[in-house]
Structure 1
């Protein structure tokens, strides 16, 4: 099979790109031909080393753009990306090629929909976030710091300032979304959508066509198995972007109320403010993957206080794999990985006192040890390895390709084939 993977970034800058690149490497190792198409470089050297064809446009994203106006135009409608992707797909054989889109909103833009439709190739889209249905991608009001339940592109949506930076930028996102829905028509184009959690699927179902076929493929977790470490004297750990939507202020306040020292591994717009307001907090800054896993193994518990929807928070699964219990907000999909009272605790989202109560409970070393062992054992009973991810992808690709073959054969009056069922 020839798999064309489409993503904004050709290097690992977050969860989306990590999953796309891990998939590319795994698919190539299984003998498939892989093309990796991305807007922003530099390309991860592992891709070329694995024999993967990389088409990287070396364009900007918002973090590298010298001209914000030029990037705004690119983000709304990236003509170069549409043209180059069309060139790549014209050379693909429809009998053995499938196109799997991981991301488009950070650089490629909805313009790629024109190239995808023109190609007529079988398509799959992984819903890492919500940009396919929500203009700001998160169903979240950043200024108000709360989840948004408005209908995307409704009057209420258009008149609400929900962007993390400014209302004018919200309007730019609205313009982009109008192009996504009316010109590229991506929600109709992506008949097959991969979701990564129950919460995510429940959120998007009302906003996509009834003909959409949903498949469930969990993201892979890259954590080696190792003995569980004792929790006596260990700290509570936060890993990730230090920001309001990630619940970092909730953790800092809860830790103060519980009389414990919070440890933050990561960086973000609120790091300096929280360090000044909570001098007892330990701010470790950004840490590499190996260092993060070592911190997780040594932690009393991971605290994941996110106050917005999270599709499948990788850090929650990584902590469980490391043998560390997780205290998780009930607003995000991370709760689906945590058995309340067994491998961690759920707490009411945004409530520092509710979180503080669980921090006090887990001050008990024996309880923290029991939860850590339970977390480890239950995770490794069905680990989310790259092979497990690829096995699920293979089932989805097979279903989508069989449907494409059926559609082609259906053009001949004498031939009819049954359509495949979605992979669940």
Structure 2
């Protein structure tokens, strides 16, 4: 007879579940795709369901993605607000600091789970669910819990280790006096104060950091930046995000296009840096996307091309036609999928050396690194990739290296199941303790019967 700690591990063999399958509870703020975090969480939910696992999605904000219900996935959606839908700022402030209804609803759900065949996977809480969900998680210590670090909210009040007014990476210790007194928020200091209060609740009331001791990362940079601020005993597991990109084959004319930026036109994304460097190098720049810096950039750089937002298929073809993608982000980014998509279609990438995108680019082989925020160094890279022969070599290398180990959904799910099994094994003492603590109750019930 299997002991409880062996049960979950036995479900997963060669990436395929044995019956009975796992019950995976996926926790995130939104029940629909509103960005990369939700995209990964819901893609994994659908993929795990297709592999035979039982899946429940727990979210605060609707509407519910229709694909979830069509796949037979149970969804608990609280129908709450986020920052974009709230009509009462004071009520929403209370919600993001301590969402009591979310805690109660999650506790009710978790109480129905069998710890021997379940795992809870937290993807996000900072936009609507709040740190209160930690109380519910801590109330069920036998349940294995995984936490994917899509951003840094579990350790940093503003979630990015980035000083928005200064437009630079922040190296202050979270919740230190220097952190508390610095207005690093993208909007204003009162909003920073709200985040500080929430973080105090996170650290001292919620128990969420203690519950999330098994942290899934999507880049080495995340561990380097945030690792020192996690609780002692935290375990880290690397699980790359999946990307949905077709294999179009090597490019036939890789040096025919220009230099392309894809993303939000905002200071932290480095859009202005690219525009300035391209102007300095005398090279035309093309932008796909829009944002708060859009009007200023269009005014200052009339020679650049601004295409606005495009569909994913259109973006993919623009990347395919480009000479190189320029990813000049000046802040930490977990795993920029735009960089990987570019490499997958055979387009080299010029990337800032401060963001995790550098981990996907082999400097001098599949693209170039430049010193972050250094206009001159970025201009040098643009000039270097004006060499058609060099671009052709990098294009082929980018394509070959990506497709040697493509980040497919199946690869993501295989690794996710491996990590679930490892976490379950490490959770064995708590599960065994739970079983033993329940024994007197079961014996007493048996004697009464």
CA pair 408-227 structure 1, distance change in 2 beyond 3 A: closer
Q: 8 Å contact 2:218–2:238 — kept in the other structure?
A: yes
Q: Encode CA deviations 1:184-204: one digit per residue, 9 max, x unaligned.
A: 122211110011111111111
Q: 8 Å contact 2:185–2:192 — kept in the other structure?
A: yes
1:130 alignment partner, one of 148, 152, 168: 152
Provide the residue aligned with 1:283 in structure 2: 306
Q: 8 Å contact 2:115–2:431 — kept in the other structure?
A: no
Matched, 1:91 2:101: no
Provide the residue aligned with 1:17 in structure 2: 38
Give the match's secondary structure for 1:119.
coil
CA distance in 2, matches of 1:347, 1:412: 55
2:173 alignment partner, one of 131, 134, 151: 151
Provide the residue aligned with 1:205 in structure 2: 227
Q: 8 Å contact 1:236–1:303 — kept in the other structure?
A: yes
Structure 1 segment 232-311 matched on structure 2, within 5 A: 232-311=255-334
Q: 8 Å contact 2:256–2:321 — kept in the other structure?
A: no
Q: 8 Å contact 2:62–2:77 — kept in the other structure?
A: yes
Q: 8 Å contact 1:265–1:287 — kept in the other structure?
A: yes
Q: 8 Å contact 1:133–1:208 — kept in the other structure?
A: yes
Matched, 1:354 2:383: no
CA distance in 1, matches of 2:119, 2:403: 32
Per the TM alignment, residue 80 of structure 1 is displaced from its structure 2 partner at its CA by 1.6
Per the TM alignment, residue 94 of structure 1 is displaced from its structure 2 partner at its CA by 1.6
Provide the residue aligned with 1:8 in structure 2: 29
Provide the residue aligned with 1:69 in structure 2: 90
CA distance in 1, matches of 2:95, 2:405: 42
Give the match's secondary structure for 1:387.
helix
- Number of paired residues? 413
Q: 8 Å contact 1:228–1:297 — kept in the other structure?
A: no
CA distance in 1, matches of 2:346, 2:34: 26
Provide the residue aligned with 2:417 in structure 1: 394
When Rg is computed on C-alpha atoms for both structures, the one with the higher figure is: 2
Q: 8 Å contact 2:135–2:208 — kept in the other structure?
A: no
Q: 8 Å contact 2:325–2:347 — kept in the other structure?
A: yes
Provide the residue aligned with 2:16 in structure 1: none
Provide the residue aligned with 1:188 in structure 2: 210
Per the TM alignment, residue 119 of structure 1 is displaced from its structure 2 partner at its CA by 2.6
Matched, 1:119 2:140: yes
Q: 8 Å contact 1:265–1:284 — kept in the other structure?
A: yes
What is the RMSD of the two structures over their aligned residues, measured on CA atoms? 1.3
Matched, 1:106 2:106: no
Per the TM alignment, residue 279 of structure 1 is displaced from its structure 2 partner at its CA by 1.1
CA pair 315-412 structure 1, distance change in 2 beyond 3 A: closer
CA distance in 1, matches of 2:435, 2:161: 44
Range moving further from structure 2, 273-282 or 62-71: 62-71
Provide the residue aligned with 2:348 in structure 1: 325
Give the match's secondary structure for 2:120.
strand
Query: With structure 1 as the length reference, what TM-score do the two structures score?
Result: 0.95
Q: Encode CA deviations 1:221-270: one digit per residue, 9 max, x unaligned.
A: 11110123323331211111110001111001011111112111112111
Q: 8 Å contact 1:296–1:319 — kept in the other structure?
A: yes
Per the TM alignment, residue 67 of structure 1 is displaced from its structure 2 partner at its CA by 2.3
Provide the residue aligned with 2:18 in structure 1: none
4+ long deviations beyond 4 Å: 410-413
